[in-house]
Amino acid sequence: MMIIPILILFIGSSVLALVIGLRSGNAAILLVLNIFWWIGSFISGYLTWLVWQDRKYSENWAMIGFIFFALPYILLTASMISAELFFIRGWQDSPAELLRLSGIVLLIFLMSQLIVGLLSA
């Protein structure tokens, strides 16, 4: 039951930082948000790796961690990254290029986690 408050806190803080960063055009807020998302993606990547390691067992208990933690994180973060990339597509300064690169690489990393996790089922 502890996952629900953490999920609400994650979604609330991410959406708030995303909206503030996009409305003000502040790339620094969005860069901090991307770092926050990267940290979470490494945690979900670890859970995905555990699922991949335990795929040969009939009782794959690591799949619970993937289903309840990594999968929601991947889907929520991928949708927020997609929104960020959509709204910064017209920005021309150098921090925007770093944001685009970070967002695209993070999106690829999350999608590869999703594929590995689903193949492990």
What confidence tens digit (pLDDT) does each residue in 49-60 have? 999 998 888 777
The pLDDT of residue 61: 85
Helix/strand/coil for 60 = coil
Which residue, 79, 31, 101, is CA-closest to 71?
Answer: 79
How far is Cα 12 from Cα 14, in angstroms, rounded to an integer? 6
pLDDT-derived band at 121 (thresholds 50, 70, 90) equals confident
Backbone torsion region of residue 7, taken as left when φ is above 0, otherwise alpha when ψ lies between -120 and 50, otherwise beta = alpha
pLDDT-derived band at 76 (thresholds 50, 70, 90) equals very high
The structural domains of the chain, with segments of one domain joined by +, span 27-119
**10-44: pLDDT as tens digits:** 999 999 999 999 999 889 999 999 999 999 999 99
Share of the chain above pLDDT 70, in %: 99
